[in-house]
Structure 1
Amino acid sequence: MKKSQIIAIAVGIVAIGILYSLPRVVVDNDEGQNQVATSEEEVAETAPSHMGAIDESTADELATLRGKLSAADNKENFVTFADAISEIYSELGKYDSAAHYQELALDKSNNIERQERTGNAYYEAYTFALNEQKISFLAEKTRKYLNQVLDKDPSRLDLKTKVAMTYVSSSNPMHGITMLREVLEADASNEDALFNMGVLSMQSGQYKRAAERFEELIKFHPSNLQGQFYLAVSYYESKQNNKAKKQFEQVKSMTTDPQVLSSVDSYLERL
C-alpha cells in the first residue's frame, strides 16, 4: 500500500471511516479461517486520465514534449522525452498518465531497470485509483512489470509486497495474503508486509489481530509513525482502553504534526 495513501489515512480524524472505503479483501482471522468479501469486476482497459487543471505554461510544455516525442528519430531521444513527460505528470499527481509514458519508454528500452520503473509507476497509480475498472487495469499492469523483475530477482521482497497488495482488491485476494505471508516467512521483520497485514486486519474488523501485527511492526520499526498510530486505534477498537491511552500518548510524543495530534486528541477524549 502506497505510503502517501497511508499517511493521508493516518493523519485524518476519520481514519477508520477511510479504511472501510478501501477495497474489500481476504484477511487471516483469529480462528485461522478466511473471510472473503469481494466480487469479480469486468476487466476493462482504460486510457490514462488527463483530467484536472493544468496551468497554461505546463500544458504548453507537455504539448511541446509530446511533439518532440512523436518526432524522435532514435530510441535515446524518445526515452528522454517520454521520461520528461512522465515526470511532469507525476508532479501533477496524474500517476496513471505518468505510468503510461514510462511504459512507452520501456517499449524502446526494455531492461530490468525500466521494468521496475514502469511497474512502480503503475503501482503508484493503482494506489490512488478509485474506479473499480481502473483499479483492476492498473493492478494488472503493476503485476506484469514487477513480476518481470521478480522472475530475475526473487529476493526483491519490496516488489513482492507491492504485487501482493494488487491482489487484495482482485478476484483472487487470497493470493495476495499468501504472498504477504511468504514475505514474512522470508523476513519476519519486513516493514511493508507487517504494516499491510495490520491494515488489512483492521479493514476486516479484526482489531486484536491487527494489534498483534502492529506490535510486531513497531518492535522492529519503532519510528514507523503510521504503525504506532494504527496500533493505538487497534487497541481502542478492541476495547483495550488502557493500552490505547498509553499508545496514543506515545504517538503524541513522536510528532508535532497538528493533524496527527488533533486525531489523537479526538480518540483520547473518547477514552
Structure 2
Amino acid sequence: MNKTRSKQIIIIGAVALLSVFLFTRDIKGLVKPKQATTGVPAGGQLTSAGSTINLTEVSTAAKNSINANLAAEITTLENAYNTASDDEKNNAAKVLAEKWDDVEQTVPSALYLEIIAAREKNLNSWLAAGGRLMKAFDNTQDSLISPVLLQKANTAYTNAVALDSTNLEAKTGLGVTIVNGMGAPMSGIAMLLDVVKKDPKNLKANMSLGTFAIKSGQFDKAITRFNDIIAIKPSPDAYFYLATAYENLGKNKEAVDAYLNSKKLAANATLSNFIDKKVKELNTKN
C-alpha cells in the first residue's frame, strides 16, 4: 500500500470515528457543485437534486425513535399547528421546532424553523433556520436527505447574506455550506478566510478551514489552524483532528498527546477504547 493511500485511509477512519464517537462535525467529502436554488419551497414538501423530504414522513420516523409520551405530546402540538390560524401559525411552528430540538430530532426542528423563516423573511429567522439545517446536516446518516438539508442551509444563509452582507454569522454559514459541496470550495474558503480576518476567534469558521485543510491533505495548515482553535477553546473534536493531522505527517508523539487530550475532554468510553488502541499502535512506531 503506497503512502498516499495510507494517508487517505487514516483520514477516512478518523472522520468516521469522530462522527460516531463525538457526534460533532465530521469532514464531509467534497462533492460536485450543485445549482443553488433561490427560493424556499412551501412547508411540508422540500426538494433538492431530485430528492424530497416530506415533513409528515420525517415527523413519523422521528416519533418512532423517541419516548411514546413525548411522541404523543408532539402529535398534539402538530395538530395545533395544522389547525392554527394564519396569525397563530408562526408561534405554533416555533413551539414545535423547540420541542423537536429538545428531543434531539434536528431534521423536523430545522424544517419548522425554515417554514418560519419563509414567512418572516428577516435576518434572525434565516440565521436560525440555517444553523438548525446545518446541525441536521451534520447529524444525519441518511444519504438521501443530507444533500437536501445542505441545499436548504445554503439557501437560508444566502437569504441572510442578502439582507446583511456584513453579518459574520451569515457569511460563515454560507461559506461552510459552499465548502461542503454547494459550489466551488475555494470560494467558500475565501469567504471563511474573510470572516477569520475580521474575527480571528470565530470557532466555526476556523474549524471549517481546519477540516478542509485535512480533507485536502494540507496537514501543516491544519495543525496550525487546530492549535489556534485549541488556544481559543479546547475541545475533543479539535484535539482529535489535530491528532489526525499529526499522524498523517508521521509525528506520532504529537499525535499521541493530541489523542489523549481528546480522550480526556470527551470522557466517552467508546472513544477512550479507540484512543487507547491508537496510542498503543503509535507508540510502537516511535
TM-score, with structure 2 as normaliser? 0.71
Does the CA-based 8 Å contact 2:127-2:169 persist in structure 1? no
Task: Give the match for residue 80 of structure 1.
Answer: 91
Does the CA-based 8 Å contact 1:163-1:176 persist in structure 2? yes
Does the CA-based 8 Å contact 2:18-2:240 persist in structure 1? no
CA 1:43–1:179: 2 relative to 1, 3 Å? farther
Match among 150, 162, 186 for residue 151 of structure 1: 162
Equivalent-residue separation in structure 2 for 1:57 and 1:252 (angstroms) = 35
1:191 counterpart = 2:196:
no
Does the CA-based 8 Å contact 1:150-1:160 persist in structure 2? yes
Does the CA-based 8 Å contact 2:219-2:246 persist in structure 1? yes
SS of the residue corresponding to residue 51 of structure 2 reads: coil
Return 5+ residue gaps in structure 1 as ranges: 1-5, 26-36
Task: Give the match for residue 230 of structure 1.
Answer: 241
Equivalent-residue separation in structure 1 for 2:19 and 2:107 (angstroms) = 24
CA 1:242–1:118: 2 relative to 1, 3 Å? closer
Task: Give the match for residue 61 of structure 1.
Answer: 73
Deviation of 1:269 (Å): 0.4
Task: Give the match for residue 6 of structure 2.
Answer: none
CA 1:189–1:67: 2 relative to 1, 3 Å? closer
Task: Give the match for residue 3 of structure 2.
Answer: none
Deviation of 1:256 (Å): 4.6
Correspondence 1:110-125 to 2 at 5 A: 110-125=121-136
Which stretch of the first structure deviates more once superposed, 189-198 or 167-176? 167-176
Match among 46, 71, 74 for residue 53 of structure 2: 46
Which stretch of the first structure deviates more once superposed, 99-108 or 174-183? 99-108
Equivalent-residue separation in structure 1 for 2:28 and 2:16 (angstroms) = 17
Correspondence 1:94-173 to 2 at 5 A: 94-167=105-178, 168-173=180-185
Structure showing greater relative contact order (alpha-carbon pairs closer than 8 Å, 6 or more residues apart): 1
Match among 224, 236, 259 for residue 212 of structure 1: 224
Letter in 2 for 1:158: E
Does the CA-based 8 Å contact 2:151-2:182 persist in structure 1? no
Equivalent-residue separation in structure 2 for 1:91 and 1:7 (angstroms) = 26
Please give the per-residue CA displacement for 1:128-177, whole angstroms capped at 9, x wherever unaligned. Answer: 23445523322232222233333333343233222222122235333322
- Alignment coverage as a number of residue pairs: 248
Deviation of 1:99 (Å): 1.9
Deviation of 1:268 (Å): 1.6
SS of the residue corresponding to residue 46 of structure 1 reads: strand
Task: Give the match for residue 29 of structure 1.
Answer: none
Return 5+ residue gaps in structure 2 as ranges: 1-14, 35-47
Equivalent-residue separation in structure 1 for 2:155 and 2:196 (angstroms) = 23
Match among 28, 31, 42 for residue 23 of structure 1: 28
RMSD: 3.3
Deviation of 1:259 (Å): 4.2
Equivalent-residue separation in structure 2 for 1:190 and 1:155 (angstroms) = 15
Does the CA-based 8 Å contact 1:143-1:166 persist in structure 2? yes
CA 1:249–1:152: 2 relative to 1, 3 Å? same
CA 1:191–1:118: 2 relative to 1, 3 Å? closer
Percentage of identical aligned residues: 20
Equivalent-residue separation in structure 2 for 1:230 and 1:108 (angstroms) = 39
Equivalent-residue separation in structure 1 for 2:116 and 2:84 (angstroms) = 12
Letter in 1 for 2:96: I
Does the CA-based 8 Å contact 1:43-1:133 persist in structure 2? no
CA 1:225–1:56: 2 relative to 1, 3 Å? closer
Task: Give the match for residue 270 of structure 1.
Answer: 281
CA 1:195–1:113: 2 relative to 1, 3 Å? closer
Equivalent-residue separation in structure 2 for 1:225 and 1:91 (angstroms) = 23
TM-score, with structure 1 as normaliser? 0.74
Does the CA-based 8 Å contact 1:194-1:217 persist in structure 2? yes
